[in-house]
Amino acid sequence: MLIEQPWLLYRAFFPKTHWRFQTGEKAVYLTFDDGPIPEMTPWVLDLLDKYHIKATFFCVADNVRKYPEIYRAILQRGHQTGNHTYHHLQGWKTNTETFLKDVEAAAELIDSPLFRPPHGHIRPSQLRAVLKRFKVVMWDVVSRDYSNRQTAEQVFENVTKYTRNGSVIVFHDSLRSKGKLEEALPKSIDWLLQQGYEFKLIPQ
């Protein structure tokens, strides 16, 4: 069964992670996972500049190694980055020692106190260790822009259906999102602005 909302029970297992920020303000937190890559990230950066919006990019360190100039552009243009492991490892499938070494290696390229586990999959032992050094940021709105079974229209609808005050919205600057994001992202931003949402950076 596929659901857009993270499982409430799963969330309850990880009380120290951030799924949505408690805020009285009409604010959302845009996040982009899995970049930086030349095919998508510069396009996202240009679009965000056009709207004067700042976002948080959870980067895969292997991509940072390949495209350091794009990584630098993210920071130079006023956005912030977070650690998304070096090799996009899934915690459930990886032993804790290997997982933590991968996070450490990523931290050498990504100087950030923020961490997001790939797919949101992390074992309690991994989480305990990661929490000593990082603020762990999950999400409460999955655009599902990465899915081949979703159209750009459906990606947009996922955003409009689940966003509320303090929502952390996840998109992907990845090849799998290409073809959907170009349509769904500007449409989503337009809608969020129309609704009066302000775009904020995740507090570090």
Q: Report the interface residues with Zn ion, using CB under 5 A.
A: 33-34, 118
Query: Is 172 a known active-site residue?
Result: yes
Measured from the CB atom, is 50 or 119 closer to Zn ion? 119
In the complex, what is the shortest distance from the CB of residue 142 to Zn ion, in angstroms, rounded to a whole number? 11
Question: Angle at CA 34, nearest 5°, toward 17 and 144?
Answer: 75
Cβ closest to Zn ion, residue 167 vs residue 177: 177
Catalytic, out of 18, 33, 79, 140: 33
Name the amino acid, one letter, at 7.
Answer: W
Minimum Å distance from CB 88 to Zn ion?
Answer: 6
In the complex, the smallest distance separating the C-beta of residue 118 from Zn ion, rounded to whole angstroms, is 4
Distance from C-alpha of 180 to C-alpha of 145, rounded to nearest angstrom: 6
Copy the structure tokens of residue 57: 């990019």
Pick the catalytic residue: 18, 79, 88, 172? 172
Task: Pick between residue 33 and residue 102 the one whose CB is nearest to Zn ion.
Answer: 33
DSSP letter string, 91-154: GGGS-HHHHHHHHHHHHTT---SEE--GGG---HHHHHHHHTT-EEB--SEE--TT-TT--HHH
Based on the residue annotation, tell me whether 18 is a catalytic residue of this protein: no
Give the residue numbers annotated as catalytic, written as ranges: 33, 172
